[in-house]
């Protein structure tokens, strides 16, 4: 049984009833609540106003990627943000799962795997064949999920340099 949503994103597993709903101005407040939870979960610094401005900028330009609320049986339980990039090594545009958060009460129910499958399907539908993601080194649970879903640790380091006034979490 498929669970269609307004964006044509479906989940074939009726036990999880997952729908990805595009974040827009009408549901941005809900998305921001989950984003706040994500940052609190990892003790990242969080400036609500600045983060809202950045998310609004992101959702206004579809060439950057997509942001979705994750709904289970019609109730929002998290969010995902997928950003586009370009890789010569990967022969074109790639997608990066920048953030994936499912509230604690909805975890360990197959939602993460379903969301990743939906993201991968959507990426393929827009011609993006490579999906990358990251997990905190200490987040073994997320890493195990990603490996179960077919993601491979390429034994590379993701190094970051932040310039300007915005500071990245450590």
In this structure, is residue 163 part of a structural domain? Answer: no
Query: Measured between alpha carbons, how far is 52 from 158 in angstroms, rounded to an integer?
Result: 25
In this structure, is residue 26 part of a structural domain? Answer: yes
Q: Which pLDDT score is estimated for 16?
A: 53
In this structure, is residue 167 part of a structural domain? Answer: no
In this structure, is residue 35 part of a structural domain? Answer: yes
Q: Which pLDDT score is estimated for 165?
A: 60
Closest CA to 151 of 128, 139, 135: 135
Instruction: Using DSSP, state whether 121 is helix, strand or coil.
Output: helix
Q: Which pLDDT score is estimated for 157?
A: 86
In this structure, is residue 90 part of a structural domain? Answer: yes
CATH number of the structural domain spanning residue 130 = 3.40.630.30
Query: Measured between alpha carbons, how far is 2 from 14 in angstroms, rounded to an integer?
Result: 7
User: How many Cα atoms occupy the beta-carbon half-sphere of 4 within 13 Å?
Assistant: 3
Low-confidence ranges of the chain (pLDDT < 50): 1-8, 10-15, 170
Q: Which pLDDT score is estimated for 9?
A: 52
Residue in the block written with tokens 């979705």: 68
Q: Which pLDDT score is estimated for 158?
A: 86
Give the number of domains in the chain: 1
φ/ψ (deg, to 5) at 165: -75, -30
Contact assessment for residue 70 and residue 76, using Cβ atoms and an 8 Å cutoff: yes
In this structure, is residue 8 part of a structural domain? Answer: no
In this structure, is residue 105 part of a structural domain? Answer: yes
Q: Which pLDDT score is estimated for 87?
A: 94
Q: Which residues pair with 68 in a beta bridge?
A: 22, 80
Would you say how long the chain is, in residues?
170
In this structure, is residue 55 part of a structural domain? Answer: yes
Q: Which pLDDT score is estimated for 167?
A: 56
Domain that holds residue 63: 18-148
């Amino acid at each position: 049984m498929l669970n269609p949503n307004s964006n044509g994103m479906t989940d074939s597993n009726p036990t999880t009833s997952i729908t990805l709903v595009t974040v827009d101005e009408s549901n941005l407040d809900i998305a921001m609540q989950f984003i706040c939870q994500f940052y609190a979960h990892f003790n990242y610094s969080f400036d609500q106003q600045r983060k809202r401005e950045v998310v609004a900028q992101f959702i206004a330009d579809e060439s950057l990627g997509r942001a979705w609320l994750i709904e289970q049986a019609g109730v929002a339980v998290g969010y995902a943000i997928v950003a586009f990039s370009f890789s010569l090594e990967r022969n074109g545009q790639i997608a990066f799962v920048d953030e994936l958060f499912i509230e604690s009460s909805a975890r360990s129910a197959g939602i993460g795997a379903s969301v990743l499958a939906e993201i991968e399907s959507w990426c393929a539908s827009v011609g993006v064949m490579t999906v990358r993601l990251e997990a905190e080194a200490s987040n073994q649970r997320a890493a195990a999920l990603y490996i179960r879903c077919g993601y491979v640790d390429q034994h590379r380091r993701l190094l970051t340099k932040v310039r300007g006034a915005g500071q990245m979490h450590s």
